[in-house]
A and B are shown apart, each in its own frame.
Chain A
Amino acid sequence: MIYAALFYAIAGFTVISALGVALSTNVVYSAMALMGTLIGASGIYVFLAADFVAVVQLLVYVGGILVLTLFAIMLTHQIAEVQVSNRSVGRLPAFALVVLVGVAMGVAMFRAPWHVEPLGEATPTTYGIGDSFLNQYLLPFELASIVLLTALVGAIVLSRKELRG
């Protein structure tokens, strides 16, 4: 009972934050809402007995990506002047499309015969994930690290100022 209520609370928090990201006029407000979404998502992970992932989410997403986004927002100044999320693009077609997608996915979701098994014990996953990374998913793991390296180098290159005039 409490479980369900708690779930709905966290889920509601996440969705509302997402809405906030979508509909907010100020980009900083959107960023804050994004933070809320990310935290909410992390909470949902906990619900799903994915403890390690939830923590990683908080660390990386909120601590890294969000902060980075805020830095970018700050660096691209004129915050007050920029009319963020100007709906001149047209909310209505976007809304229609969104509805369409939603309907389709909803139908698919509820009709599809998902293979559901009874829940198991909620055990700590850290050991299991670590073991998988280094045994089963070693290659992707290594590739992912290369990707990160590349992204790092790329970001540095891209943000370098034109020194040569």
Chain B
Amino acid sequence: MEIGLHHFLVVSLLVFLCGIFTVLTRRNAIGVLMGVELILNSANINYIAFSRYGGGGYDGQIFAMFVIMLAAAEAAIGLAIVLGIYRQFESIDVENIDTLRG
């Protein structure tokens, strides 16, 4: 069939679902962050797809650019935090980092 908008949306959806799965199941903190990257990427695919198929204009692509920028910033901070956690707890197992509990 003709490659249409839906195809790209399906791809993005699948990546999104994988990202959610990763976030929910990974024990490694960095693994969780990787899942977050997946989610962001799926969103990016969506943006660009809509930008292309929704008429002219670069809005979608610019949004994607912003997302990439912010993802970078967020990854930096996140990994810095993970390093801090590692320094504190000698482990980055999410299961064990639970001192902020009620």
Q: Which residues of A contact B (CB under 8 A)?
A: 3-4, 7, 11, 14-15, 18-19, 21-22, 27, 30-31, 34, 37-38, 41, 44-45, 47-50, 52-53, 56-57, 60-61, 64-65, 68-69, 71-73, 75-76, 78, 82-91, 93-95, 97-98, 101-102, 105-106, 109-110, 114-117, 119-120, 125, 128-129, 132-133, 137, 140, 144, 147-148, 150-152, 154-155, 158-159, 161
Contacts and interface: CB of A to CB of B under 8 A. Distances in A.
Contacts of A53: 44, 48, 61, 64-65, 68
Nearest to B79: A72
Nearest to B69: A144
Contacts of A73: 30
Interface in B68-102: 68-77, 79-84, 86-87, 91-93, 95
A10 to B, nearest CB: 9
A152 B69 CA distance: 12
Contact of B62 (A76, A93, A129): A129
Interface residues of B, number: 74
Interface string B2-24: 11111111110111111111101
A68 B86 CA distance: 16
Nearest to A6: B3
A16 to B, nearest CB: 10
Contacts of B80: 154-155, 158-159
Contact of A133 (B13, B51, B62): B62
29 contacts: A3-B3, A4-B3, A19-B18, A21-B18, A22-B19, A22-B21, A27-B30, A30-B34, A37-B41, A41-B45, A44-B11, A60-B69, A60-B72, A61-B68, A65-B37, A68-B75, A72-B82, A82-B91, A85-B27, A85-B28, A87-B25, A89-B25, A94-B21, A98-B17, A102-B13, A117-B54, A129-B61, A132-B58, A159-B80
